[in-house]
Amino acid sequence: MPSVGELIPVVLITGPTGIGKTALAVWLGSYLPVEIVSADSRQIYRYMDIATAKPNAAERAAVRHHLIDIVEPDQVLSLAGYQRLANAAIQDIHNRGKLPLLVGGTGQYLTAVMEGWSAPEVPPNPELRAELEAQAAAEGGPEALFERLRELDPEAASWIDPRNLRRVIRAIEVCLISGRKFSAQRTKTPPPYQFLKLALTEGREILYTRLDARIDQMIAGGLLDEVRTLHERGYGWGLPSMSGLGYAQLGAFVRGEQPLSEAINAFKRDTHAFVRRQYTWFRRYQGLVWFENADPHLILKTIRAGLSGF
Q: Who wins on pLDDT, 168 or 137?
A: 168
Is residue 152 within 8 A of residue 170, CB to CB? The reply is no
Cα distances (Å, whole numbers) of residue 286 to 197, 251, 293: 9, 38, 21
pLDDT at 300 over 80: yes
Rg of the chain in Å (alpha carbons): 20
Percentage of the residues of the chain whose pLDDT score is greater than 90: 78
Annotation: CATH topology of 126-185:
Histone, subunit A (1.10.20)
DSSP 193: E
Angle at 48 (CA atoms; ends 42, 49), nearest 5 degrees: 95
Mean of pLDDT over the chain:
93
At 47 the pLDDT is 97
pLDDT at 224 over 50: yes
At 188 the pLDDT is 83
CATH 3.40.50.300 intervals, the chain: 8-119+189-204+287-308
At 39 the pLDDT is 98
Measuring CA to CA, which residue among 233, 249, 296, 251 is closest to residue 45?
233
Helix (H) or strand (E) holding 200: strand 193-201
User: In the predicted model, what is the mean pLDDT of residues 178-202?
Assistant: 92
Q: What is the pLDDT of residues 35-55, one digit of tens each?
A: 999 999 999 999 999 999 999
At 167 the pLDDT is 83
At 101 the pLDDT is 98
Q: What is the pLDDT of residues 231-287, one digit of tens each?
A: 999 999 989 899 999 999 999 999 999 999 999 999 999 999 999 999 999 998 999
Report the top-level CATH class of 8-119+189-204+287-308. Answer: alpha beta
Measuring CA to CA, which residue among 57, 67, 280, 308 is closest to residue 161?
280
At 203 the pLDDT is 96
Task: Give the pairing of strands 193-201 and 289-292.
Answer: parallel
CATH 1.10.287.890 intervals, the chain: 205-276
Q: How far apart are CA 147 and CA 168, in angstroms?
A: 10
CATH number for the domain whose boundaries are 205-276? 1.10.287.890
pLDDT at 157 over 70: yes
Question: Confidence band (pLDDT; 50, 70, 90) for 100?
Answer: very high
DSSP for 116-169 reads: -EE-------HHHHHHHHHHHHHTTSHHHHHHHHHHH-HHHHHHS-TT-HHHHH
At 124 the pLDDT is 83
DSSP 244: S
What end-to-end distance do the CA atoms of the chain give, in Å? 11
pLDDT at 5 over 70: no
Any idea how long the chain is?
310
Question: Confidence band (pLDDT; 50, 70, 90) for 3?
Answer: very low
CATH 1.10.20.140 intervals, the chain: 126-185
Give the three-state DSSP class for 262.
helix
Q: How far apart are CA 194 and CA 208, in angstroms?
A: 33
